[in-house]
Amino acid sequence: MPSLFLWEVFAVDNVTAYEVLKRYQGRINAYGALCQMNWETRSGGKAWASELFLAANNAAGIKAGTGWSGPVYNKVSWEQRANGERYSQLSAFRKYSSFDEFAADYVKKIEANYPLCVSRADNFFGYFSGLHAGRYGAWATDKAYFRRMVESAVTLAPEIFGAAAAAPKLKAALLYAIESDYLSDAEAAVALEVLGIGDGHDGAESMPLTPKIKTDSAISTDNTGRKIICIDPGHGGKDPGACAGGVQEKDIALKVAQMIGSSLAGYRVVYTREGDTYPTLSERAALANKIRADLYVSVHCNSATSAQANGIEVFTHTNKSKGAVAAAKAVYRRLLPVSGMNGRGVKNANLQVLRNTAMPAVLVELGFLSNAGDRAKLTAADWQEKAAVAIAAGIEEVFA
């Protein structure tokens, strides 16, 4: 009959390990750490089967060093010098009573010795780069280590994230890592090659190597279970939107959109633009779909040929879903009393960003720039803040 110690070892698989590692998300990248451990524990092509793991619950080759007073496991392992020369040596590795105990110690080792892993914990490709660099360049002595980590990420993704979500998650995370300068040119080239992006093999799902839409770290790398809200500040860049009295719609939309995001505590917020840029309507909807947002909120100001037209209104698509209608009503109900404007109701329209988004989507018209009274409110900082807080409260009401 196996001992409790051996039962704890054999009970570990990819999914079990990932659930343990997710407890430390933010201090490490749970998926990045899983990929490393999956590779480090391989034996005969099978993960979680190496001698060191089975005998010592050590899934990342952590050696006993200064300050370690626990048991050790002595084993010959190979190292690699800066010139690429490999050599073998007998080393004392830390021995743990369980995978949970190992995971806690692993996190401490990462925080103490791999600062790039900590600062890039929002992205597993950045985490791989941090593992390869370390503080001293001493852990990942295998010169092909980064490639091995990317290959592990591709192999594990369907099991951890699901077959349908695996490829979009990998691509989105890689593009974010490139955009965030987490990777060297050589690392980016390796990752693009392994994922098959930009080499003609990616078919209809091919993504540009330099994304036009800048997002925050929300892109499909959050393992905390937080809802993802995609906020779309209308227009931007070459498209000013409605203009009146020296005011441009794109500027109001961006300010209010960012205030909405800042008011959403406990949510992951992704913006379709964060500056004066112009993502196309297709790109805006595509981003929301790629990150699998739970709600899409587009922010606009209205305009009309008649200077008398005024008030707020919220739109859903013509073929509206119950979720979109509920969201539109919640946002409208919260916004109307604080706006001090006329209420024009919840409406539906065949707008592209509402039509092409896969999740509940609403478009908020904050008021008419063409109306002097509305414009005075729209340009006031205190009104913008009140409107943003109200819209955020409507979003929170939906998920409550």
Rounded distance, CA 218 to CA 215, Å? 7
For residues 35 and 156, state if they share a domain. Answer: yes
- Looking at the structure, do residues 138 and 252 belong to the same domain, yes or no? no
Q: Which of 160, 181, 210 is the C-terminal boundary of a domain? A: 160
248 within a domain of the structure (yes/no): yes
Question: 116 — alpha (psi -120 to 50), left (phi > 0) or beta?
Answer: alpha
Q: Which of 164-178, 190-204, 308-322, 374-388 has the highest mean pLDDT?
A: 374-388
Quick one: 235 and 123 in the same domain?
no
CATH number of the CATH domain containing 143: 1.10.530.10
Question: Is 199 within the bounds of a domain?
Answer: no
Q: Which of 160, 177, 192 is the last residue of a domain?
A: 160
Residues 146 and 270 in one domain: no
Q: Residue 135: its pLDDT value, please?
A: 60
pLDDT in tens, 125-162: 999 999 877 665 444 455 678 888 999 999 999 999 99
Q: What is the 3-state secondary structure (H, E, C) of 67-121?
A: CCCCCEEEEEEEEECCCCCEEEEEEEEECCCCHHHHHHHHHHHHHHHCHHHHHCC
Residues 248 and 391 grouped into a single domain: yes
Domain with residue 351: its CATH number is 3.40.630.40
Residue-number span of the structural domain to which 67 is assigned: 4-160
How many distinct structural domains can be found in the chain? 2
**Do residues 346 and 255 both lie within one domain?**
yes
- 22: DSSP letter: G
Per-residue pLDDT tens over the stretch 66-122: 677 889 998 876 555 555 555 566 788 999 999 999 999 999 989 988 888 999 999
Most confidently predicted of 59-73, 195-209, 324-338: 324-338
Q: What is the pLDDT of residue 203?
A: 33
pLDDT of residue 8: 38
Please report which confidence band the pLDDT of residue 2 belongs to, taking 50, 70 and 90 as the band edges: very low
